[in-house]
Amino acid sequence: REREAALSQRKGSQVHETDADNHVSFQSQEEKLSAIEQMRIHSRREYLKKREDQQLDLKRRVLEDQDWVLKKEKLTEAEQKQRDMDKELYSVAKTRKEQRGQEEVDGYVMPEAYDDFDKKGGQDARFSVLQQRYKEEKWDKSEQQML
């Protein structure tokens, strides 16, 4: 009963549970459509995660089978190139899947405020941004300059 009260307060809907099935009734049609849309989005994301895992596993097994079948065969240059590309594609897909979510920044990051004169070195920081691109090249001294 506490769960029902928490759900009804949180969602603004009334919850009726029976032993056989869970039934949720909504106060408005908009609330129901919104909940259905959220469930569809969640379900689709879960499906895509599973599908990606299945496809990677399938590609791995296909490559292993090809290695086993073709290990003593002499392949043409085009066939060998295609196999190398397939292996590269698999390795890139696998590393991208592993690195997903580990990116440091997702999107645009606002630069620091270098116009703030209250901060220490405000004016110097402002001009250092302009000078970052244009660094003077260091030349070795010529023989005449060394004399």
Each residue's pLDDT, cut to its tens digit, for the chain (147 residues) gives 455 555 555 544 444 444 445 677 888 888 889 999 999 999 999 999 999 999 999 999 999 999 999 888 898 999 999 999 999 999 999 998 888 866 666 667 666 665 555 556 566 766 776 776 666 677 777 777 777
Kindly state the tokens that stand for 138. 């260091």
Name the packing angle between helices 77-99 and 29-69 (round to 10°): 140
